[in-house]
Amino acid sequence: MVGSGRMASSSERPPRRPTSPDGIIVVDKPQGITSHDVVARLRRLCGTRAVGHGGTLDPMATGVLICGIGKGTKLLTYVSGADKAYSAVIRLGISTTTDDAEGEIVTASGAQLVTPSFRAESQDLVTLDRISAEMEKLTGEINQVPTSVSAIKVNGKRAYNLVREGEQVELKARPVVVSKFEIVYIVNNEELNEVAGLPVVDLFVDVVVSSGTYVRALARDLGAALGTGGHLTMLRRTRIGRVDLAMAKTLDQLTQEATEDRPLPTMPLGEAVKFFLPSREVTEQEAKDLSLGKFIEKRDTEQVTAALTEDNRLVAIIEPQSAAKAKPKVVFPWEP
């Protein structure tokens, strides 16, 4: 006789894990997966769907990916706007459809670094002086045309989707800041598997850029300026704002921490927000007013600022409203 109770199916999902507290988690993203894949993994580990990330990394790229958990997603706007540091490898001699190693080869003229003492009639020789001069032109405040396979929307569609559909995408240049674009070392590669016998030059570089800057586009533009073509073969984000790799954990490490029946820990909101915004301590009455959406005295609030209680709880993100008052932009749950 079959009982009325429903037997558990082997295909059923396991019970949801305990929900992690509001905050952020810094992930060292591995190669080969998308930033959304990381978010999906954290949703399972943190027991909540309220997970997002601040600053997409392509599948090829690795490194710092800051993820907001619960109310921590409200901080991601300020994470995305911070400057970012990268280690990268630019390959001169080949250009691709995506400006990185995942695209198809468009041109393959090759490149070879020659010493300054080498003399020939050709003006297209790749010398360290020429590379440095062109890199300098791509440093500072520049107008950059984003890579065509970016997530920028064109007529309501992502540019990378239009490219995949076979459409030609022309994006407008926009101002960005490249505060550092420096060579660490150079390697002359005499032969590559993908283009047998073709010499190329690999530039290992350190880059610091403003939000919205594409390192792939720097590789593309440097190669174009040198007449060799260029693309990115490695990209590792080492820092966002003041959050660096030393604070990051791999997905394997996070999975190991989540094996016990306890919430996966996060960096608390009051601690996390200080990495991206100036902070100001508020009184209990001011905290109460802010939690109700009320203005408070401006005091020394001259820009977007985190309002924290004496015990380091984040109450709100505030901004100046007038010469005397500051208003809440984002409010976080608070109880005395």
Residue 76 near residue 52 (C-beta atoms within 8 A)? yes
Euclidean distance between CA atoms 266 and 103, whole angstroms: 36
Q: Tens digits of per-residue pLDDT, 237-249?
A: 999 999 999 999 9
CATH number of the domain that residue 219 is part of = 3.30.2350.10
pLDDT at res. 3: 45
Residue 31 near residue 61 (C-beta atoms within 8 A)? yes
Q: Is 320 helix (H, G, I), strand (E, B) or coil?
A: strand
CA angle 259, 79, 74 (to 5 degrees): 75
pLDDT at res. 124: 53
Q: What is the mean pLDDT of the chain?
A: 88
Q: Tens digits of per-residue pLDDT, 260-319?
A: 788 999 999 999 999 999 999 999 999 999 999 999 999 989 999 999 999 999 999 999
Segment 16-27 shows an average pLDDT of 94
Euclidean distance between CA atoms 213 and 61, whole angstroms: 15
Is residue 13 in some structural domain?
A: no
Q: Which residues are catalytic?
A: 58
Euclidean distance between CA atoms 234 and 239, whole angstroms: 16
pLDDT at res. 121: 46
Q: Higher model confidence: residue 108 or residue 156?
A: 108
Task: Indicate the pTM of the whole model.
Answer: 0.88
Segment 251-265 shows an average pLDDT of 90
State whether 29 and 161 are in the same domain. Answer: no
Is residue 259 in some structural domain?
A: yes
Residue 70 near residue 23 (C-beta atoms within 8 A)? yes
H or E stretch including 259? none
State whether 210 and 321 are in the same domain. Answer: no
Q: Which residue, of 228, 251, 268, is where some domain finishes?
A: 268
CATH number of the domain that residue 312 is part of = 2.30.130.10
φ/ψ of 76, rounded to 5, equals -65, -25
Cβ-based neighbour number of residue 257 at 10 Å: 13
Is residue 3 in some structural domain?
A: no
State whether 308 and 165 are in the same domain. Answer: no
With CA atoms as reference, report the closest residue to 76 among 43, 112, 107, 51: 51
Kindly report each contact of residues 135-141 with a partner whose C-beta sits within 8 Å and lies 24 or more positions away, as own/partner. Answer: 135/181, 135/182, 135/183, 135/222, 137/225, 138/178, 138/181, 138/218, 138/221, 138/222, 138/225, 139/178, 139/179, 139/180, 139/181, 140/177, 140/178, 140/179, 141/175, 141/176, 141/177
Is residue 158 in some structural domain?
A: yes
Reply yes or no on whether the pLDDT at 6 is more than 60.
no
pLDDT at res. 247: 97
Point out the least confidently predicted range of 68-77, 121-130, 141-150, 161-170: 161-170
State whether 227 and 174 are in the same domain. Answer: yes
Give me the domain span that covers residue 306: 277-331
pLDDT at res. 123: 47
**Per the structure, how many domains does the chain have?**
3
Task: Measure the CA dihedral 296/297/301/305, to 10°.
Answer: -20
pLDDT at res. 130: 92
Please state, for a pLDDT cut of 90, what percent of the chain lies above it.
Answer: 68
Beta carbons within 8 Å of 261's beta carbon, 6+ residues apart? 17, 18
Cβ-based neighbour number of residue 129 at 10 Å: 9
Supply the angle between the helices 215-226 and 128-137 in degrees, to the nearest 10. Answer: 130
With CA atoms as reference, report the closest residue to 146 among 155, 154, 134, 157: 154
Point out the least confidently predicted range of 19-28, 166-175, 303-312: 166-175
Cβ-based neighbour number of residue 144 at 10 Å: 21
Euclidean distance between CA atoms 205 and 288, whole angstroms: 49
Q: Tens digits of per-residue pLDDT, 192-204?
A: 655 667 889 999 9
